[in-house]
Amino acid sequence: MKVSIVGGSGYTGGELLRILSIHPRVEIQHVFSRSNAGKYIHDVHPFLKGIIKMKFTSLDNLNLIKNSDVVFSCLPHGVSKEMIPKIIDYNVKIIDLSGDFRLKEASLYKRWYHFEHKNPEILAKFVYGIPEIFKEEISKAKYVSVPGCIAIASILALYPFAKRGLIKNTVYIDAKVGSSGSGKNLKISSIFSERFNSIKAYKPAMHRHSPEIETYLQLISNKKFNVLLAAHTVNIVRGILATIYLDHYEELPQIWKYYREDFGNEKFIRIIRNPRGYYKYPDPKFLLGSNFVDIGFEIDEINRKIVLMVALDNLVKGASGNAIQCMNIMFGLNEDEGLNIPPIYPI
């Protein structure tokens, strides 16, 4: 498959290139960048030196993608929606990693992303890219929108309960996210002196992944409920740990049964619960560089609630790895091709 990337300078673009470089069915054609056109890719992504010997292509030459089979768009929120219609004109498959095509209702973008979405007809053509839930839809799709990192973690953890109609009240999600989740743009809050030894609540309410989680869990359950998501940035580079409080009580054997039934055959979902061991619950430290999702759970017998824990690498299963998993499904390949990468440990 001939693959091009639009907006390849950021962390997700670099992670796409890292994984695609070892994919047995992929030929990387063009990597477009406005700010780095003409530079070698390894000048921006030094870990790829000796692996990818290409230069970034200027976006002025976007017509070169017409010979590609699939295009990954890693452009920022708000920019992708302007570029995608131009890419569609070249009749290629598109996998978008921004938030611009995740929500089903164009009106939601004004509230959550602070821009008017002027392409609702294109919005309707995008399939939401969670392979473990929407595999059939992805296999038939021409355009896929990759979920936000907190969103995919939360939706996967909550899916068995939504599917069985067991979510009835507000779901509370507490997410801890590594610094790479905020991208490469320089801000005072992102420099080392500010971030190191720090835990900050950067979005304790009204996080833009909230409507994603609500939209697709409500679609699965056919019930209305709210999501309250509080996001914190923590002193790690990669990884997410989300702790979810579900206003529902179930015995532990039944919860095990739900996850085995729904995810027992999924290649990238691991159920982690070992109360007698040293590593009792999911921890992003043991997922870095991989496409795995680890899900764990516990019950609060006094308050009669379930506590879910879910961890993943925000740049792999939370973005680029999941995008490649979607690509594999779109082209009828084994969904784990190029993704059988063990986590890196210790790190």
Q: Residue 65 and residue 2: Cα distance in Å, rounded? A: 9
Residues 6+ apart with CB under 8 A from 300: 306, 307
* Strand segments (E) across the chain: 2-6, 27-32, 70-73, 93-96, 127-128, 143-145, 171-177, 200-203, 227-233, 240-246, 269-271, 293-300, 305-312
The CB-side HSE value for 244 (13 A sphere, CA atoms) comes to: 29
116: left (phi over 0), alpha (psi -120 to 50) or beta: beta
Q: Map residue 203 onto helix, strand or coil.
A: strand
Q: Residue 193 and residue 190: Cα distance in Å, rounded? A: 8
Other CB atoms within a 10 A radius of the CB of residue 311 amount to: 26
Q: Residue 80 and residue 86: Cα distance in Å, rounded? A: 10
Q: Map residue 237 onto helix, strand or coil.
A: coil
Q: Which of 123, 120, 166, 165 is nearest to 144 (CA)?
A: 123
Residues 6+ apart with CB under 8 A from 345: 285, 286, 288
Other CB atoms within a 10 A radius of the CB of residue 341 amount to: 16
Q: Is 310:154 a contact under the CB 8 Å cutoff?
A: yes
Catalytic residue among 28, 97, 149, 319: 149
Tokens coding 51: 């692996």
Annotation says 149 is catalytic: yes
| Alpha carbon separation from 199 to 234, 282, 285 (Å, rounded) | 5, 19, 17
Q: Which of 327, 319, 325, 13 is nearest to 150 (CA)?
A: 319
Active-site residue list: 149
